[in-house]
Amino acid sequence: MKKYFILIFIMACSVFSFGQASIKDSVIRLSIASISYSYKIPGGDLAKRFYPNSSIGGSYLFKTKKNWFIGADGFFIFRDKIKETGVLDSISTPDGSIIDGNGNYADVRLYERGFYIGLKLGKMFPVWGPNKNSGIVILCGPGFLQHKIRIENPGNEAPQVDGDYKKGYDRLTNGFALNEFIGYMYLGSRKLINFYAGIDLTQAWTKNRRFNFDQMDTDNTKRFDILSGITIGWVIPIYKRSPNKFYYH
């Protein structure tokens, strides 16, 4: 069902993108929706916990006739393994295994998960493009970053990490963040090819929000988390249709 909804959404946006606005001849006002992929490298305290990760995101921006942007964006962070060790040592055997409720070795998997949401303000500088609506884009804005260790136990046969118990080991962390982007946006004059690519940076002042069972304490250490990487995105421009005009002689 989800894939059909996404397909309908894409088709609808494509219809809107073929309005009668003259993008080729002048700077125009328009709305821009986008879907993006990023490969990011952690820095600061985040590098002690996680490896480089991927993220999938989206944004909605409004561009003025003077090439200013205002809007919002967000992205979902994921990776299939973590760097931090010892998270489950307090409930593990000497060889690092966890025994489930049936006396067997439990299948426990640790992943990185997180997200960012924020506002955006920026400017386009028309260069190297087919029209004055393409060029270098600089965006920045405040937001909120959250990340944690996702603990999965297929079958939920290990009570030590079942239900709310897993919250004592997931290191849920969040806080205020800033995000910057600098790159190039291409809006084709024929409205068929539209994309952007550039460097994406995030700095966050975060804090652990859990009581850690393995440490039997709350970690109040203030963290400084950094994400930096490359982002590429598919742009869906939504042009305002020009009104019909009639001339009489």
Per-residue model confidence (pLDDT) at position 189: 87
Per-residue model confidence (pLDDT) at position 191: 78
Per-residue model confidence (pLDDT) at position 7: 47
CATH tag, 2-239:
2.40.160.20
Q: Which segments of the chain have a pLDDT < 50?
A: 2-20, 244-249
Query: Domain extents for the chain?
Result: 2-239
Q: What is the dihedral of CA 2, 8, 14, 16, to 10 degrees?
A: -120
Per-residue model confidence (pLDDT) at position 24: 77
State the average pLDDT for the chain.
89
CA–CA gap between residue 68 and residue 70 (Å, rounded): 7
CA–CA gap between residue 110 and residue 95 (Å, rounded): 17
pTM summary value: 0.86
